[in-house]
């Protein structure tokens, strides 16, 4: 059985600390952190929405559901609070391989008018930067994965 790592570098099965490798390193998936095309007021509304959801989950945990409660579907729901709340749902949000195309089409990615999707993907891919530093410094790691070459 493979080891399950959770945030903070804890080995969930063994109960001991070990280096945490993000999804990009464990599964080999391409992982991107795209800058969002929001102004400061929209960023506050979005952050507030996410914090309220986190508080709700702390009080009443919810399961991951492949079709309607994933990272992408939850982010899309939060984005609807600030950007086109009446726009219809799109099937691309359900398939991770298409969510960047949807985000680009909806104007959710900053720099989208300057770069192609391939260029955006190359610029904001974090795979090479996502290895946790040896000192397990999460704050420096968070800065490290957001550096753009």
Task: Give pLDDT tens digits for 72-131.
Answer: 788 888 888 887 666 777 888 888 788 889 888 888 888 888 899 999 999 998 888 877
State which of 21-25, 101-105, 136-140 shows the largest mean pLDDT. Answer: 101-105
Query: Which of residues 21 and 75 earns the better pLDDT score?
Result: 75
Tokens 């990009």 belong to residue: 24
Compute the CA torsion angle 89, 92, 94, 99 (nearest 10 deg): -110
Paired tokens of 69: 């409660």
Element (H, E) at 46: helix 40-59
pLDDT of residue 15: 43
> Looking at the predicted structure, is the pLDDT value of residue 17 above 80?
no
Sequence-separated contacts (24+) of 121-126 with Cβ below 8 Å: 121/30, 121/32, 123/148, 123/149, 124/32, 124/33, 124/34, 124/35, 124/148, 125/30, 125/31, 125/32, 126/22, 126/24, 126/31, 126/32, 126/33
pLDDT of residue 58: 92
């Amino acid at each position: 059985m493979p080891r399950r790592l959770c945030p903070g570098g804890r080995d969930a099965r063994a109960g001991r600390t070990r280096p945490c490798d993000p999804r990009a390193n464990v599964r080999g998936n391409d992982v991107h952190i795209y800058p969002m095309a929001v102004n400061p007021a929209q960023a506050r509304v979005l952050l507030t929405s996410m914090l309220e959801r986190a508080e709700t989950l702390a009080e009443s945990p919810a399961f991951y559901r492949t079709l309607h409660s994933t990272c992408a579907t939850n982010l899309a729901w939060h984005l609807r609070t600030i950007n086109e709340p009446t726009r219809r749902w799109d099937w691309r949000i359900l398939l991770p391989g298409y969510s960047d195309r949807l985000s680009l089409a909806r104007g959710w990615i900053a720099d989208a008018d300057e770069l192609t999707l391939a260029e955006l993907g190359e610029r904001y891919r974090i795979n090479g930067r996502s290895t946790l530093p040896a000192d397990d410094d999460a704050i420096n790691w968070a800065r490290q994965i957001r550096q753009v070459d």
